[in-house]
Structure 1
Amino acid sequence: MTTGTPIDVEELRTLFLFEGMTPEQLAEVAAVCEVRAYPAGGTVYRAGEPSVALWVLLDGTLRLVRHADGEEVIVNETDYRGAYAGAVRAFATSAEASAYPTSLHAVTDCRFLRFPADAFAAFVRKWFPMAVHLFDGLYLGIRTTEATVRQREHLAQLGTLSANLAHELNNPAAATVRAAGQLRDRVGHMRRKLGMIASGTLDPAMIARLIVIQERAVEIASKRRDPLTPLQESDLEDEMVDHLEDLGFEYAVDVAPVFVAAGLDTTFFDDVAAEIGDALPSAVAWLGYTLETEALMDEIEDASNRISTLVASIKQYTHLDQAAHQEVDLHPGIDSTLVMLGHKLGEIEVKRDYDTSLPQVPAFAAELNQVWTNLIDNAVDAMKGHGTLTLRTRRDGDHAAVDVADTGHGVPDEVKGRLFEAFVTTKPMGEGSGLGLDNAKRIVEKRHRGTIDYTTSPAGTTFTVRLPLSPAT
């Protein structure tokens, strides 16, 4: 940096900030300002230092940098003459901070007009007192409005996720309650059978044979089988009913579905009849209770596992018990987002095309899940409940790329160039705030040094997020 030199009034007049001023005003500005030169790579000021001046670019290229979580994010890089930074709101009656929020660097050799903050504030208040109040009100109004809308957006997302969670939890919970009630009834019947055994009316040798048959039936039921079509299942049940009635069992219609679902066939009962003879009706009833009990316990176990899986997905989605920034596998986060939005997917087909060899990515995992939520939610809305959602991961040079593709109607021409701007939305009034993609862009670009873009046509839209595989230096 060179020592400051005075500014010429005529040069001052060529800057758009001062071009409409009177000679008296220009003379007042020139009297308190100075010109300072900085070499390429030089730093004009750093974030956190006292905000002591307004800086206006006279020549060269500047770079404005914001610091976030140990990373430097370029806010602006320009050679536009008259671009300004620093104590922009020094005149404000509600100035929020006395420190620079950003750092200002010279990309090339630069000259800056240095306008001391106290002199700048006094000048604006003296010559433009009404503007001070208008700018104060406008600034606070915009901040308040944006904060309110962003809060509503977050609450709306929370409401959607809560509704999905309630639906996803309700199904297995209801299945557990229903199965537990039926199991109680079956256990009651089993107690009565045990009472018969305890009374001594059944031969101990026969009981031993029945237990062996029971274990054999349970073993068959536990084996994995190909699912039956409704027609195949109906035919097998009819065949089982006819066969059991031929063997002398009166309630075949009640137990045939249980046996077919367990994988037992007519040959199994022929073998049972050959082993126990006249005791077949009691054996069939006992086997029915046994297999129903096993099926109900399997249903309870499956429902409990679904609840556990959902809870695990919630933890994966929020990363509550993990570090904020860490090396993460992108796939569990995408999958947990699908679980969170599962109820909204409806009849949409989900295709996953994951590159399992993709390295882990240095990221704020919970924030990335907000990106996946916004992109998947928009894709689902674009397809209106019907279509194909494709989620693809791949390596793109030194970046990990994630594609979220839908088969919706595409992005309208009138918003294509402004899709990532705040408050721009393609959804009907009241259904979207227009902050989802703005938030996604902020997280991807400013928090992760990545990029987000899209391609669109009447056949659908694909959003692509690219995240660097190497941590920030």
Structure 2
Amino acid sequence: MSGPLTVKDLCVVDLLHGLEREQLAEWLAVAEGQDVAAGGIIVEQGVPAPGVHLLLEGTVEMFMVSDGRAEPMGYQHAPTWMGAIGVLTENPIFVRTQARTDCRLALLPADDFRRLALAHPAVHGRVMRQIAPVMQRVQAIESSRDRLESLGTMAAGLAHELNNPAAAAKRASAQMAEALDVLSSTLGMFVDAGIERADAQVLSELQREALARAAGLTALSALDAADAEDAIAERLEDLGVEQAWEIAEPLAAAGLDEAWLEQVVTHAGPALDAALRWVAAALTARGLAAELRESTRRMSELVGAVKAYAYMDRGAVVEVDLHEGLETTLTVLGHKLKQTTIRVVRDYDRALPHLTVRGSELNQVWTNLLDNAIDALGESGTITLTTRRDGERALVEIADDGPGIPDEVVAHIFDSFYTTKDVGRGTGLGLATARRIVVDRHGGSIIVGSEPGRTAFRVWLPLTAPD
């Protein structure tokens, strides 16, 4: 085992560059030394982030683990740091970290890291500036559709769905950098204004009070929030605060009142503007951290839905719950449903046994049938999904209450290259492909029945896989 950690050990990691010896001593006080032999796992994928690891000596390798398979994702060489983004956003670790050589590390526990990072804005800023590049790498991974070549329509919709949380995360990280600049410069402004130690202590307590109020406050109604914001903005303008509207919103959203504001006026003196912007920046930073956490959670859910939809890394033939395939298909078509008021009704027989099928191919069938149902309904209507056992077969019915399909179209609906869609919108291969997958690949059958007000596609699949 290596010797105890020292300030000299910590200062070589660029995350802590620029801190004074006394400040480094605060980090050293919470750091836990770790020695990990080559091949040892430092932190496992999917677990809550235990803290931030400072890699002092050695090399580690990152792996993405799925169904027991570990895919290499890259290396980290000492000195460096790992896991800070997960700690600040409170998300589980998304890769396995394993020692490639004998490694010496220092672990900064999650709660201690969050506390010290907020106390040292330079450290917090270095972490937050890495969020946008990480999000861009995640987007790049999600954009790799090598295994979904036949799912062009779904891919376009998924990109739209992923863009929303990714754009929110990128926007929040940029705004976070602005808030951190304010937080890091305020101390100097207090010193320049000659703020006494006692007044500075009160201002610090008032900031903590503001953060506590914000954390415990339910969302104000739009009208109440606007009234509160206008009242604070008017008071700030009376006090001579420049661009009062910029800071009135976060102060009002935190439920801060006249009494709180007057205490700030009393103790801030000539540094009133700086003190108020300092509090507003802290409130903004907390809100942005929550937004980042929600954005990354949504991205993770979408990635999970895509993996389930395509049965990635599970082989061509898999044992599945039919309902899982239907639900993940609804998820990847969510971008289309969100633009409508279409209802989805489920009538599932959960007692159906699992079937051995070509999972990703079967999901293409559900995609074609559901996509057609959505198009048939337009902006409103109901889609009903029904599953039940029919002898030695499982029956899946996808029905809509749209206008129906003319008899002359029904006669050719499973023919290759036959389509009733406008030029450029349909190839005529969707239902032909669906029939081939069901009949030729799974030994099942598919039919359609239609009349005005109801169209139903019925798919039968054998409960026992054909030889």
Report the TM-score range of the alignment, normalised by the length of the smaller protein. Answer: 0.5 to 0.7
From 166, 176, 189, give the equivalent of 1:173.
Answer: 166
Partner amino acid, structure 2, of 1:166? A
Q: In the alignment, what sits opposite 2:176?
A: 183
**Residue by residue, what CA displacement relative to the aligned partner does 1:316-336 show, whole Å, maximum 9, x if unpaired?**
221121133233233443343
Partner amino acid, structure 2, of 1:365? G
Q: Distance in 2 between matches of 1:381 and 1:344?
A: 9
Q: Distance in 1 between matches of 2:324 and 2:228?
A: 41
- Contact conserved, 1:425 with 1:433, CA < 8 A, in 2? yes
Q: Distance in 2 between matches of 1:361 and 1:255?
A: 57
- Contact conserved, 2:199 with 2:267, CA < 8 A, in 1? no
Counterpart of 1:320 in 2: which secondary structure?
A: coil
Q: In the alignment, what sits opposite 2:33?
A: none
User: Given the superposition, is the C-alpha separation of residues 274 and 211 from structure 1 closer, same or farther in structure 2, using an over 3 Å criterion?
Assistant: closer
User: Given the superposition, is the C-alpha separation of residues 275 and 189 from structure 1 closer, same or farther in structure 2, using an over 3 Å criterion?
Assistant: closer
User: Given the superposition, is the C-alpha separation of residues 188 and 271 from structure 1 closer, same or farther in structure 2, using an over 3 Å criterion?
Assistant: closer
Q: In the alignment, what sits opposite 1:270?
A: 259
Partner amino acid, structure 1, of 2:281? Y
Partner amino acid, structure 2, of 1:287? V
Displacement of 1:391: 5.0
Displacement of 1:370: 0.4
Over aligned residues, Cα RMSD in angstroms?
3.6
Are positions 1:387 and 2:377 aligned together? no
Are positions 1:195 and 2:188 aligned together? yes
Q: Distance in 2 between matches of 1:356 and 1:282?
A: 63
Larger Rg: 1
Query: What count of residue pairs does the alignment treat as equivalent?
Result: 314
Q: Distance in 2 between matches of 1:164 and 1:287?
A: 40
Are positions 1:329 and 2:321 aligned together? yes
Counterpart of 1:465 in 2: which secondary structure?
A: strand
- Contact conserved, 2:396 with 2:458, CA < 8 A, in 1? yes
From 130, 154, 160, give the equivalent of 1:161.
Answer: 154
Q: In the alignment, what sits opposite 2:229?
A: 237
Displacement of 1:350: 4.7
Counterpart of 2:411 in 1: which secondary structure?
A: helix
Q: In the alignment, what sits opposite 2:13?
A: none
Q: In the alignment, what sits opposite 2:417?
A: 423
Instruction: Describe how 1:36-435 pairs up with structure 2 within 5 A.
Output: 157-196=150-189, 201-222=194-215, 225=218, 228=221, 230-242=222-234, 251-260=243-252, 262=253, 264-267=254-257, 270-271=259-260, 273-274=262-263, 277-279=266-268, 282-345=274-337, 347-354=339-346, 355=348, 357-359=350-352, 361-362=354-355, 363-384=357-378, 386-388=379-381, 390-396=383-389, 400-435=394-429
Are positions 1:456 and 2:450 aligned together? yes
Displacement of 1:438: 2.1
TM-score for both structures, normalised by structure 2: 0.57
**Residue by residue, what CA displacement relative to the aligned partner does 1:350-400 show, whole Å, maximum 9, x if unpaired?**
53444484545213211121011111221232234x124535344345655
- Contact conserved, 1:358 with 1:394, CA < 8 A, in 2? no
Structure 1 unaligned residues grouped into runs of 5+:
1-153
- Contact conserved, 2:381 with 2:400, CA < 8 A, in 1? yes
Sequence identity of aligned pairs in percent?
38
Structure 2 unaligned residues grouped into runs of 5+:
1-147
Q: Distance in 2 between matches of 1:435 and 1:368?
A: 15
Counterpart of 1:418 in 2: which secondary structure?
A: coil
Displacement of 1:472: 5.2
TM-score for both structures, normalised by structure 1: 0.56
